[in-house]
Amino acid sequence: MIRLERRPAPSRAWAWATPLLAVLATMVAGGLLFAFLGKDPLLVIRTIFWDPILGEFAFYYRGQLLVKAGPLVLIAIGLSLGFRAGVWNIGAEGQYIMGAICGAAVGLAFYPLEARWLIFPMMVLAGGLGGFLWAMIPGILRTRFNTNEILVSLLLVYVAEQILAWMALGPLRSPDGAGFPGSRNLRHYDAAANHELIAGSGMHWGVVAAFIAVILGHVLLSRHILGFNIRLAGASPRAARFAGVNPGLLVLTCLGMSGALAGFAGLFEVAGPAGQINIDFNVGYGFTAIIVAFLGRLHPVGILLAGFLMALTYIGGEAAQATLGVPAAAIQAFQGMLLFFLLALDVMTNYRVRFDVRARA
Partner 1 sequence: MLKIITLAAAAAMSASLPAVGGSHGDGPVKAGFVYVGPIGDGGWTYEHHQGLLAVQEHFGDKVETVYQESVPEGADAERAMTQMALQGADIIFTTSFGYMDPTINVAAKFPDVKFEHATGYKRADNVSTYSARFYEGRAVQGHIAGKMTKTNKIGYIASFPIPEVIRGINSAYIHAKKANPDVEMSVIWVYTWFDPPKEADAAKALIDNGVDVVLQHTDSTAPQAAAAEAGVISFGQASDMSEYAPLPRVSSIIDNWAPYYIARVQAVMDGTWESVDTWDGIGPGMVEIGEITDAVPADVKAEAEALRDAIGSGEYHAFTGPLNKQDGSPWLAEGETADDGTLVGMNFYVEGITGEIPN
Q: Using CB under 8 A, pick the residue from 66, 76, 274, 303 that binds partner 1.
A: 274
Binding mask 242-271 for partner 1 (x = CB under 8 A): ---------------------------x--
Contact 191, 119 (CB under 8 A): yes
CA distance 95 to 44: 35
For 45-99, give the DSSP string.
HHHHHTHHHHSTTHHHHHHHHHHHHHHHHHHHHHHHHHHHHT-----HHHHHHHH
Identify which of residues 329 and 359 has a Cβ nearer to partner 1 in the complex: 329
Is 215 a residue that touches partner 1 (CB under 8 A)?
A: no
DSSP string, 152-192: HHHHHHHHHHHHHHHHHHTTT--TTSTT-SS---GGGSTTT
Which range touches partner 1 (CB under 8 A), out of 119-127, 257-265, 286-294, 317-325?
Answer: 317-325
Query: By rule CB under 8 A, what count of residues binds partner 1?
Result: 41
Among 132, 268, 281, 341, binds partner 1 (CB under 8 A): 281
> Shortest Cβ distance from residue 164 to partner 1 (Å)?
9
Examine residue 333 and tell whether it contacts partner 1 (CB under 8 A).
Answer: no
| Least distance between partner 1 and beta carbon 4 (Å) | 38
The answer for residues whose C-beta is within 8 angstroms of residue 173's C-beta and 6 or more apart is: 181, 182, 183
Among 4, 42, 112, 336, binds partner 1 (CB under 8 A): 112
Does the protein bind partner 1 through residue 325 (CB under 8 A)? yes
Query: How many CB atoms are located within 10 Å of the residue 147 CB?
Result: 14
Angle at 280 between CA 277 and CA 283, to 5 degrees: 105
Torsion sign (Cα): 62, 68, 73, 74 = positive
Q: Does 329 bind partner 1 (CB under 8 A)?
A: yes
Alpha carbons 49 and 52: distance in angstroms, whole number: 7
60 binds partner 1 (CB under 8 A): yes
Q: How far apart are CA 354 and CA 298, in angstroms?
A: 28
Question: In b/e form, how buried is each residue of 105-139, taking b as 16+ CB within 10 angstroms?
Answer: bbbbebbeeeeeeebbebbbbbbbbbbbbbbbbbb
- Tell whether residue 280 is a contact of partner 1 (CB under 8 A): yes
Q: Which is nearer to partner 1, 248 or 325 (CB)?
A: 325
CA angle, 33 as apex, 31 and 34 as ends, to 5°? 65
Q: Answer yes or no whether residue 115 interacts with partner 1 by CB under 8 A.
A: no
- Among the listed residues 3, 188, 195, 223, the single contact to partner 1 using CB under 8 A: 188
Shorter beta-carbon distance to partner 1: residue 195 or 224? 195
How far is residue 340's CA from residue 323's CA, in Å, rounded to a whole number? 27
In the window 134-173, what residues touch partner 1 (CB under 8 A)?
Answer: 161-162, 165-166, 169-170, 173
For residue 99, the minimal CB distance to partner 1 (Å) is 16
Q: Which is nearer to partner 1, 178 or 359 (CB)?
A: 178
Q: Which residues of the chain form contacts with partner 1 (CB under 8 A)?
A: 57, 60, 64, 67, 112, 161-162, 165-166, 169-170, 173, 176, 178-182, 185, 187-188, 269, 273-276, 278-281, 283, 315, 318-319, 321-323, 325, 327-329
